Amino acid sequence: MRLKDKTVLISAAGQGIGRASAIACAREGAKVFAVDINDETLATLPAEAPGIETRKLDVCDRASIDALVAELPELDGLFNCAGFVHHGTVLDIGEDDWDFSFDLNVRSMYRMTQAFLPGMRLRAKATGSASILNMSSMASSIKGFPVRTLYGATKAAVIGLTKGIAADFVAEGIRCNALCPGTVDTPSLRGRIASAPDPVEAEKNFIARQPMGRLATVDDLTPMVVYLLSDESRFVSGQALLVDGGVTI
């Protein structure tokens, strides 16, 4: 049990990578608080693994986050997974698009970390370690992709945020890392494919940019999530870890 005695909170846990991560962490012995803005997808989650509790949470709502901090025990692990993919070049980005993407993809992580970190510091003082994991992407400061300018800008900011948090709290045993996946087969990716002018071509193109010749499954990502939230990664902090099927070779 790699996460025995750990309490972790995972956002965007209703579907996709967040959901699979909640299940994987619970199976490794963690007490998991799975949060999402969508309580319908959350409702079926506790049946999939023991030790998962769910809470409806909008990570853009500071008051709801503060109320949750007051309710929950102190955390050993925080996985900020929520994010949105804007589609378009720089010419297509409206002011509202910019604000929405930065609010959900970056500012939410600042809010969540600021709210949960005081409790994590207490846990780290008692146990020697705590871990924050922020969802970035290979589409970030690492690599540019067509029609992903706004998305890449937010995910690059996540890496900067991650490194700053890591630098400030490294001496207290608190680690902070960013996860940078390639293209992962999740409900929102299926939505992006379905809404393309030619969905068959769109799926072919997503696969073609993966040198391993396939999309990632969510379970290609969960071992890295468990590793980074566990003490196995105790000497790893401030890193942007790629799980991208070889895109950036």
Q: What is the DSSP string of 124-190?
A: HHHHS-EEEEEE--SBTTTB--TTBHHHHHHHHHHHHHHHHHHHHHGGGTEEEEEEEE--B--HHHH
- Of 91, 72, 81, nearest to 146 by C-alpha is 91
Structure-block tokens of residue 244: 């991208």
Number of residues forming the site for ligand NAD (CB under 6 A): 29
Encoded one letter per residue, x for contact with ligand NAD by CB under 6 A and - for no contact, window 68-87 reads -------------xxx-x--
| Strands ordered across the beta sheet of 174-181 | 52-56, 31-36, 7-10, 77-80, 130-135, 174-181, 240-243
Positions 6 through 45 that interact with ligand NAD (CB under 6 A): 11-12, 14-18, 36-38, 41
Under rule CB under 6 A, residue 181 binds ligand NAD: yes
Q: How far is the CB of 58 from ligand NAD (least distance, A)?
A: 5
Choosing from 151, 152, 240, 247, the catalytic residue is 151
- Cβ neighbours around 203 below 10 Å, total: 18
How many whole angstroms separate alpha carbon 186 and alpha carbon 183?
9
| Distance of alpha carbon 106 from the chain centroid | 11
Residues 43-62 that bind ligand NAD (CB under 6 A): 57-60
Within 10 A of 1 (CB to CB), how many other CB atoms are there? 10
What is the nearest approach in angstroms of ligand NAD to the Cβ of residue 135?
A: 4
Q: Shortest gap between Cβ of 1 and ligand NAD (angstroms)?
A: 25
151 is catalytic: yes
Least distance in Å: CB of 246 to ligand NAD?
15
What mask of x and - would describe binding to ligand NAD in positions 219 to 238, judged by CB under 6 A? --------------------
Residue 147 tokens, joined: 């029609």
Q: Which residue is nearest to ligand NAD (CB)?
A: 83
Active-site residues: which are they? Answer: 151
Binding footprint of ligand NAD on the chain (CB under 6 A): 11-12, 14-18, 36-38, 41, 57-60, 81-83, 85, 104, 135, 137, 181, 183-184, 186-189
